[in-house]
Structure 1
Amino acid sequence: MRRPDLLFKQKALAWASSFDVCCVLDSNGYTDQYQKFDLLIAAGAKRQLRASSGVAFNSLKNFYEEHQDWMFGLLGYDLKNEVENLYSENPDALDFPDLFFFVPEYLIAIKDHQPEVLLGSPEILQQILQQELHPSTASFERKIESRISKQVYLEKIEELQRHIHLGNIYEVTFCQEFFAEHAAIDPVAVYEKLIKISPTPFAGFFKIGKQYILSASPERFLSKKGQTLISQPIKGTARRSNHPEADQRIKSLLKEDLKEQTENVMIVDLVRNDLTKSALPGTVKVEELFGIYSFPQVHQMISTITCKLQPDLHFIDAIRNTFPMGSMTGAPKISAMELIEQQECCKRGAYSGSIGYISPDGDFDFNVVIRSILYQAEKQYLSFQVGGAITYSSVPEKEYEECILKASAIIETLKG
């Protein structure tokens, strides 16, 4: 794990956040064969696209064809209503757009510790180095509330399992919201503290006016490199231990855990099916099944599925064909999303959507917006959601404990 120069990252984030629109995508030193950059810093919007579900993917396709430039953006979970005949009627206190993309005025990429200006004057690097860092705090005094009580959560899990027993679904990702009202925070300071506590390979800071996504995501939704599509769903979680021997034992137990394998393979099958819609026949492959990867708070079970994109299919259609990601929905996908709408108590919006980039040549890389703080500065409303995969063998009490584990880095970040 290599870490880009921390001071430059801090100064670059402070500089980028001074613009009305910016996006910083940070691998935090994690590397894999599919990523192109260690860090991307996009600031200012030369052009931007805001679209609602119903016309969003076609609008994005037209936006790309018109500009064929670097673009960074958000795909909200509720674009599901465009992909399938679904709806979203739960309350939404954050009001993120369903889809938002922008062509940046300035773009800096870092690879192997070397910064390169891809858009804008090379003098930007000197401006960033001269940026003053003002003292700021991530302290947070407001009470964090749960949208539902533990008892209601357990009852909802039992209701979802009733649908599994009836054969309506096999697996569903159920999420709950934690929130704070009248929350005045410094988004930059909170994000920096979050990724210090939980550095992850698909972290991101996304600002759209007064709205912020502060993400410590460990998960890739979908990437395109050349003609290859790559998806890496996460299903399977275990708490880390401070003792190396115990930690290794936990890791080994996760690898062999039949329940976690069952959850993971259901989503692998779903992703394979989604990719088939965009793939050259016979090219969908599971490159890795049940890989175990370690992050500061948790071990995760991650599988990798790839395919070759049909040459006559637009890459935006490939994104549409796999959205929303199977790891955040369930199987069968449409039935799972219908039950999510019925049982969850707020609109997901940006949560379990995706942020990422598209390059001028049509390559792209998008994360899954999980382990993320969403903030509406105008309303001073702060929110984060956590969830888990519910199956026939799920134990509701343990599912609740897993939610709290996944929320631990955010809760620690927001402590005064």
Structure 2
Amino acid sequence: MTFRAVERRPLPWREPLAAAAGLRERDGALALISDGGPLGRWSFVAGDPDRVIVEPMEAGLDRLRDPDFADGVVGLLAYDAGARPATGPRPSVWPDLMLARYPAMLAFDHESRQVFAVGRGDDPRAATAAADLAEDWLAAAVEPVTPSPPADSLDPEAPPAAYEAAVTDVVARIASGELFQANIARAWTGRLHPGADPFDVLLRLAGRSSAYGAYWRLGDRALVSNSPELFLTLDGDRIETRPIKGTRPRDPDPARDAGLAAELRASAKDRAENLMIVDLMRNDLARAAVPGSVEVERLFEVEPLPTVHHLVSTVVARAAPGVGPADLLEATFPPGSITGAPKHQAMKVIAAHEPSRGPWCGSLFHIADGRLTASVLIRTAAFDRDGEGWRFRTLAGAGIVADSDPAAELAETEAKIRALREALTGP
């Protein structure tokens, strides 16, 4: 049943995390928590989806061409689904695609400090009822309390030496001309304490919030993300992507911290790594864009986050006539920043060194009011519930190029996993 009516009802401001805390026990609980910065103006909180679909990627993306999934939709594409044409079949650790449609949603405009109860339905009466439900959620908001660390340990799946050996192998492959760059990751696993749940991890990340923070729980699966990276937006005919390549840790001393940012900005290695992915994303966007419309809007900007500095570029384009969210995702997934160049070969090399990634480095996306926003699922932990409680898995990677040093790349993964490690196990 297509949403034919939408009601938006202004309400007094409450913090989105408080509204999310009131819904944390509901199946389908969703919180897209932004930091209120230039890229994170809006946050969204919802529950009670009326449609949930878990399918292979190809069939699932076709759903996005159905008018029933044109609005109020959240989806998750697992990395392995997009890599499969290069890697062949691999053990599955997460569904290819999860989709949920939300008739009721709370939208938080951080810039104007205004909340909107959004109701969607097949007629105005249904839309009003959904807006009523969203307003009730805001009234039931609970001031969140930061819990104690919900896990004792974050255990590496392989020793650090194995990662350094993988980096050495990729550098050799680059030297032989097999590829130019590949993003190689390490994985960690663990279990939450009895009685703890993934929402506790989101609460502990609140002080480190980023533009694309997220919590989503469907059944016995949950995801917590603190991603700073935009994969795609499609707004009207404007496409934008913001690949991240290049990282330095933050330092509590302001002078040393500024020096690290300047070092990143001037680094020939990191700029070359970033430029390779910019070129890859230009090529990917061209598959869905008006010829000649792909442009690099900003190049090599240093963005500071709570635990790292990142080097970020922005590529834009105009969508070709008839291109919608499904077409754009098909043309570009998985993100170039977490694969490498050439993309197809990089995914083969990644598969030679890593088990299945699952949702990590896939994409979480939101379609509402004609706009697609999709993040890259870095700084992300995936949770599965069994008879003993919640177990989790998370990864961190680094882009490997010709002059990569294995020890330095290992240190980069430690810097990138720091925020999640502290959220899970404490400082």
Decide whether the 8 Å contact of 2:184 with 2:399 is kept in 1.
Answer: yes
Decide whether the 8 Å contact of 2:29 with 2:218 is kept in 1.
Answer: yes
Work out the CA distance in 2 between the residues paired with 1:171 and 1:79.
Answer: 21
Work out the CA distance in 1 between the residues paired with 2:356 and 2:281.
Answer: 24
SS at match of 2:258: helix
Q: 1:44-63: CA deviations, max 9, x gaps? A: 1111221113433223323x
Work out the CA distance in 2 between the residues paired with 1:257 and 1:6.
Answer: 43
How far did residue 135 of structure 1 move? 6.1
- Indicate which of 53, 60, 73 corresponds to 1:49: 53
In the TM superposition, 1:70-85 aligns within 5 A as 70-81=72-83, 84-85=85-86
Cα distance change on mapping 1:243 and 1:180 into 2, 3 Å: same
Work out the CA distance in 2 between the residues paired with 1:13 and 1:382.
Answer: 21
Cα distance change on mapping 1:44 and 1:96 into 2, 3 Å: farther
How far did residue 109 of structure 1 move? 0.6
Decide whether the 8 Å contact of 1:183 with 1:382 is kept in 2.
Answer: no
SS at match of 1:406: helix
Cα distance change on mapping 1:304 and 1:366 into 2, 3 Å: same
Decide whether the 8 Å contact of 2:83 with 2:347 is kept in 1.
Answer: no
Cα distance change on mapping 1:217 and 1:141 into 2, 3 Å: closer
Work out the CA distance in 2 between the residues paired with 1:8 and 1:354.
Answer: 25
Q: Which residue of 1 aligns with 2:95?
A: 97
Decide whether the 8 Å contact of 1:25 with 1:40 is kept in 2.
Answer: yes
Matching of residue 242 in structure 1 with residue 252 in structure 2: yes
Matching of residue 148 in structure 1 with residue 158 in structure 2: yes
Cα distance change on mapping 1:133 and 1:195 into 2, 3 Å: closer
Work out the CA distance in 2 between the residues paired with 1:200 and 1:81.
Answer: 27
Decide whether the 8 Å contact of 1:20 with 1:207 is kept in 2.
Answer: yes
The 10-residue stretch of structure 1 (22-31 or 329-338) with the greater mean CA deviation from structure 2? 22-31
Work out the CA distance in 2 between the residues paired with 1:146 and 1:226.
Answer: 43
TM-score (norm 1): 0.91
SS at match of 2:65: helix
In the TM superposition, 1:117-266 aligns within 5 A as 117-119=117-119, 120-122=130-132, 124-132=134-142, 137-181=147-191, 183-184=193-194, 185-196=196-207, 198-266=208-276
Q: 1:394-413: CA deviations, max 9, x gaps? A: 00000000000111111111
- Indicate which of 375, 378, 383 corresponds to 1:367: 375
Q: 1:257-293: CA deviations, max 9, x gaps? A: 0010011000000000000101101110000000111
Q: Which residue of 1 aligns with 2:122?
A: none
Alignment gaps of 5+ in structure 1: none
Letter in 1 for 2:96: D
CA RMSD of aligned residues (A): 2.1
Work out the CA distance in 2 between the residues paired with 1:373 and 1:56.
Answer: 23
How far did residue 127 of structure 1 move? 4.3
Cα distance change on mapping 1:67 and 1:260 into 2, 3 Å: closer
TM-score (norm 2): 0.88
SS at match of 1:13: helix
Work out the CA distance in 2 between the residues paired with 1:264 and 1:57.
Answer: 29
Q: 1:52-93: CA deviations, max 9, x gaps? A: 13433223323xx234321111111122156x3532425x5x
Alignment gaps of 5+ in structure 2: 1-11, 120-129
Work out the CA distance in 2 between the residues paired with 1:118 and 1:31.
Answer: 23
In the TM superposition, 1:296-307 aligns within 5 A as 296-307=306-317
SS at match of 1:191: helix
Work out the CA distance in 1 between the residues paired with 2:133 and 2:82.
Answer: 42
Work out the CA distance in 1 between the residues paired with 2:38 and 2:289.
Answer: 26
Decide whether the 8 Å contact of 1:195 with 1:216 is kept in 2.
Answer: no
Matching of residue 354 in structure 1 with residue 363 in structure 2: yes
- Indicate which of 35, 43, 68 corresponds to 2:70: 68
Q: Which residue of 2 aligns with 1:18?
A: 25
SS at match of 2:149: coil
Q: Which residue of 1 aligns with 2:115?
A: 115
Work out the CA distance in 2 between the residues paired with 1:191 and 1:382.
Answer: 13
Work out the CA distance in 2 between the residues paired with 1:359 and 1:135.
Answer: 30
How many residue pairs get aligned? The number is 400
Work out the CA distance in 1 between the residues paired with 2:292 and 2:34.
Answer: 32
SS at match of 2:107: strand
Work out the CA distance in 2 between the residues paired with 1:268 and 1:127.
Answer: 41
Q: 1:356-385: CA deviations, max 9, x gaps? A: 201242x11011111112111226311110
Q: 1:87-133: CA deviations, max 9, x gaps? A: 2425x5xx432111111132111112100011223463354333455
Work out the CA distance in 1 between the residues paired with 2:22 and 2:351.
Answer: 39
SS at match of 1:341: helix
Decide whether the 8 Å contact of 2:86 with 2:348 is kept in 1.
Answer: no
- Indicate which of 390, 411, 424 corresponds to 1:380: 390
Work out the CA distance in 2 between the residues paired with 1:298 and 1:283.
Answer: 33
Cα distance change on mapping 1:124 and 1:359 into 2, 3 Å: closer
Work out the CA distance in 2 between the residues paired with 1:268 and 1:164.
Answer: 19
How far did residue 181 of structure 1 move? 4.1
Q: Which residue of 1 aligns with 2:125?
A: none
